[in-house]
Structure 1
Amino acid sequence: MDAQPSTGDPTATHRRTIGPYVPVRRLGEGGMGIVYLARDPGGRQVALKVMRPELAAQEEFRARFRKEAEAAKRVARFCTAPLLDAGRDGDRHYLVTEYVDGPDLSSVIDAQGPLSGSNLDALAVGVATALAAIHEAGIVHRDLKPSNILLSPLGPRVIDFGVAHLADTLAERTGTVIGTPSYMSPEQARGESVTSAADVFAWGCVVAYAATGRPPFGSGPMPEVLYRVAHHVPYLTGMDERLRTLVEQALDKDPARRPSAQRLLDRLLGREEVAVEAATRIVSDIWATPAETTRRAGAAPDGADGPDRTGPGGTERSDAGAGGAGRRRGRRWVPVAVAGGALAVAAAILIFALHPFGGGTTPPKGPLASRDIKVNGHPLHVTVDAVKRRGTSVTVQWTITMTGSEGSWWPRDLFGDELSGAGLVDPPSGSKFLPARKDDRCVCSALPTQWLHPGDVLPLYATYTGVPQDLETIGVDVPGFGLFADVPVYDG
């Protein structure tokens, strides 16, 4: 029997039960339904999403609802907000997910800026872990983005993986594009079939956004963003080169060349066939609890953009989350102390895998050197952004910008498949160092397999070993760009 309406909670629209669940308050509304904070029969908080009656009236939707709900229930509960229940109450179809107490990634970046250090590493591992679990259940997320990642006290949790194909019904009825342009894969932009490789591409976009504060293909009108996704190189300047290597691989335009989510996890942790259970424990062990910012709860969201102010997590997106004047500024990230040998080892595994040369001082902002040249008639601007030393290893980061107003440039004409020809020159001795090699591959950027157009930005890096530790400056020799002499070297 439905409970009587309550006047004690002004945010609640009613207190009727929906199935065995009692709504506490309405959190938001989107294209597919209304989301409530609710309590289950045991009194625990859950996120309850009630589908729109006009959708539930369609036989195709009901068939997809049953199929997708059963698949979502098979997803392992690792770095996700799992689907707990799916049911029907009269003509109302509903989904129930675990309540996640924490802000979404986009709210945290808006309020506090990009992530760094162990939190950035934990985010990359946590989202890869979630995708590995989701893909293992035979599901493709299709709309992974910062607002679909909640930052709980135990680490990041991915939501909105249980109703991906349900959104197709809405898309077919309204002509809505499923996905968020800045985080869609090239194959999605072209309207081609979507596989788990699209989620890996979105992982690369999310990690780049978390590290830099901006999507790697920018933002703006949907057609412009989708064109950049399909044809331009990502903007990754400022990312740590170790994590950037994996992000570059994930953002390959060809889905067949992207690593799987499991392979991402293996590479991040430096192991083979890492179990999602172990990865989840590592993430929780090194995670720093985010400050109290815009609060959201995990739910099964819409998967389609539009006037939905709830956010993809299905909970209320206030003006703070939308960039309004009402945003509450949070405290800084407060590191969680890691105690005990087992936890310290777990944290060290992740930190070493991503930062094998340790830490150091941060180089100054701005380029260390720059030059304008023409290559085959194409005007280019190159900057040496950083020269970081860790012991006898040195990593150099460059950025090449195509500054002309017309034409296109094929970077492999100059560099080949990888940046193996870029060298460092020791000023006193004249000795030249070439990038290090591992597994018969250069520890450097692989060159993109697409043309660059005016305004495109190409970030590059290369790592060298055996460089004398007492050097304060070094020469940077880039094929086609000549020698940049006396570039300062910084600990990093």
Structure 2
Amino acid sequence: MTGTTPPPLSGNTARPLQLEDPRRLGNYQVIGRLGQGGMGTVFLGRAPDGTAVAIKVIRPELAQRPEFRARFAREAESARRVRRFTTAAVLDADPHGPQPYLVTEFVEGPTLSRHVSVRGPMRPADLEQLAVSVTTALSAIHAAGIVHRDLTPGNVLLSPVGPKVIDFGLAREFNADTELSRNVRQAIGTPGYMSPEQILDSPITSAVDIFSWGAVMVFAATGQPPFGTGRMEAILYRIINEPPRLDGVSGELRGLVEVAMAKDPGARPSAEELRTALIGGGALPARPVPVATPAEPAETAAAQ
């Protein structure tokens, strides 16, 4: 019937376990497979009290690296302190066992990626809620000293109570000189949503998540990634050298996305500044203008 609200999309449906998959991890029973990514496999599990949980088991080749385990332990501990406003709460972790894993609450609902692929771009009101929810999540993540590093439409779940960000608190960055970095770098980050500094191996700060936030908003508003599709090399070139494609992003959100996706990470606002601007009407706080060093008088320079 025309004009009716479509039924909610189902999401996070577990698939059967494979022969090599664990049946138990610590105190958690493993029920099925939820997905697989560059860092490992995500399983649907059941806690001792019967609560459904998501368990991310780290890839064996990463688990063999002492430096990875040490970083994973630090980030997992920090992730447990992240406020649960709009994130999937980190409940438990075992960074030292034979199969390191991270346990989070299980969030019902489809990913933003699936929602847009099935339903198309989000309606303006839903897009506004998404923008505020994700900046709120990033504010909480950054306040705990964590950088997400892989914020994508696949890491935003549209739960019955609103959007939630998942898959933070995992050690994704390594020293560029290590063999570990060379082996896994291609599995880290999603090309269409990476920041220029991630591609160029520049220092990583929370600003990478702000760039990715802008890219996710473009996808949600238009159904397309901001730097198009095609070969990975072409996409990465566009991220570094070309402006994002903002056709279809309108109103106050467009201006915020544009500044969030500045090539210079120092020119991007913080997550909290974005959140405040979204709630207050789209105006970012004024940034101090750098004081230029006075030029040396011509006659003085000529005398030297």
Per the shorter chain, which TM-score range?
0.7 to 0.9
The aligned residue for residue 285 of structure 1 is none
Structure 1 unmatched ranges of 5 or more: 1-8, 271-352, 355-436, 441-492
Paired residue for 1:154, among 152, 161, 179? 161
Q: 2:255 aligns with which of 217, 236, 245?
A: 245
- Which letter does structure 1 place at the counterpart of 2:74? K
Q: CA deviation at 1:170?
A: 5.4
Equivalence for 2:53: 46
| Aligned position for 1:176 | 186
CA offsets 1:144-179 (integer angstroms, 9 cap, x no match)? 111110000111111111104367785433452521
Q: 1:174 to 1:134 in 2, by over 3 A?
A: closer
More helix by share: 2
User: After superposition, what is the alpha-carbon deviation per residue over 1:100-125, rounded to whole angstroms, capped at 9, x for unaligned?
Assistant: 00000110111011012210000010
Instruction: Indicate the percent of aligned positions where both proteins have the same amino acid.
Output: 52
C-alpha spacing 1:29/1:207, structure 2 compared with 1 (3 Å): closer
Distance 1:130 1:199 in 2: 11
Matched letter for residue 259 of structure 1: P
User: In structure 2, what residue type is equivalent to 1:24?
Assistant: I
Contact 2:15 2:33 in 1 (8 A): no
Q: Measure, in 1, the Cα distance between the counterparts of 2:285 and 2:68.
A: 49
Pair 1:189-2:194 in alignment: no
- 2:16 equivalent in structure 1: 11
Alpha-carbon distance in 1 for matches of 2:60, 2:29: 19
The worse-fitting range, judged by mean Cα deviation, of 127-136 and 231-240 is: 231-240
* 2:41 alignment counterpart: 34
**21 and 260 in structure 1: CA distance in 2 versus 1, 3 angstrom threshold:** same
How many residues get paired? Answer: 268
Q: Which amino acid aligns with 2:196?
A: P
What does residue range 54-453 of structure 1 map to in structure 2 within 5 Å?
A: 54-87=61-94, 90-165=97-172, 171-176=181-186, 178-270=188-280, 353=281
2:30 aligns with one of 20, 23, 30: 23
Say which SS state the counterpart of residue 176 (structure 1) adopts: helix
SS in 1 for 2:24: coil
**Cα distance, 1:198–1:53 mapped onto 2, change above 3 Å:** closer
CA distance in 1, matches of 2:97, 2:243: 50
**Which residue does 1:295 correspond to in 2?**
none
Which residue number in structure 2 is paired with residue 462 of structure 1?
Answer: none
Tell me the secondary structure at the aligned position of residue 83 of structure 2. coil
Deviation at 1:267, TM superposition (A): 0.4
Greater strand proportion: 1
Answer yes or no: is the 8 Å Cα contact 2:44–2:55 preserved in 1: yes
**What runs of 5+ residues in structure 2 fail to find an aligned partner?**
1-13, 287-304
Q: Hey, what's the Cα distance between the residues in 1 that align with 2:99 and 2:26?
A: 9
Q: In 1, are the aligned partners of 2:39 and 2:187 still within 8 Å (CA)?
A: no
Structure 1 residues 252-292: Cα deviation after superposition (integer angstroms, max 9, x where no partner) = 1111111110000010001xxxxxxxxxxxxxxxxxxxxxx
Q: Give the letter aligned to residue 250 of structure 2.
A: D
Moved more, 120-129 or 74-83: 74-83
For 2:302, the equivalent position in structure 1 comes to: none
The structure number with the bigger radius of gyration is 1
Structure 1 pair 439–112 and aligned structure 2 pair: CA distance change class (3 A): closer
Report the residue type matching 1:147 in the other structure.
G
1:19–1:88 CA contact under 8 A, matched in 2: no
CA distance in 2, matches of 1:108, 1:126: 16
Hey, what does 2:9 align to over in structure 1?
A: none
